[in-house]
Amino acid sequence: MSKYPVILLLILILASSASWAIKLENLPFMSDVHTGIVYGPGMGIDLGAGAWLFLRDIKVGVEVEILMTDANYTATLNATRYGGVFGTKFQNYTLNYHVGALNFISNRDLDYNDMSNQPQQIKENINYKGHYWGFSVDIPAGEFILSPKYLINTVTNQGSIWELDLNIAKSL
């Protein structure tokens, strides 16, 4: 996964806002913690945190998530994802794009078919690396935020796997 598109996007955002006179203490900085149910090659939970800035109606920030899933009652996958979040506000909700790196390890061998229906195998106790991208929608629900998220996880030399998360977040 190349970091150049992300760098280019950040440069474009900064260039288009070069005329803004912004003091650091006036930046609309936000953060949250969230937990959710994860469904993909297995089911489990995720715990995460994010921090971002809203520049007008554009959201730019970072996120980190830890996932613990059980795949077919045979293997436990423990994963860490870290990356960027880019979003746009639409009335009461925010549409987000997620992109970043991931690594995970399984406690047992795991056989699965990737998104192109090719058979793959994750070996136990090997730290796999890869990247992810996806979309989510932040929906205000009182003092919490509901955030359904669809992701594509691509593991180096092991294909891509889809994932669906249903997160509930609390802003800090």
Give me the residue spans of the domains in the chain: 29-171
Residue 40 · residue 75 · CB < 8 Å: no
> What's the pLDDT tens digit per position in 60-85?
999 999 988 887 767 788 889 999 99
Q: Is 167 exposed, middle or buried (0-12, 13-18, 19+ CB in 10 A)?
A: buried
Instruction: Give CATH for domain 29-171.
Output: 2.40.160.20
SS3 track for 144-164: EEEEEEEEEEEECCCEEEEEE
**21 vs 105, which has greater pLDDT?**
105
97 to each of 78, 88, 94, 131, 168, how far by Cα in Å?
A: 23, 9, 10, 14, 17
Would you state the pLDDT for residue 20? 47
Q: pTM of the predicted model, to two decimals? A: 0.79
Would you state the pLDDT for residue 103? 93
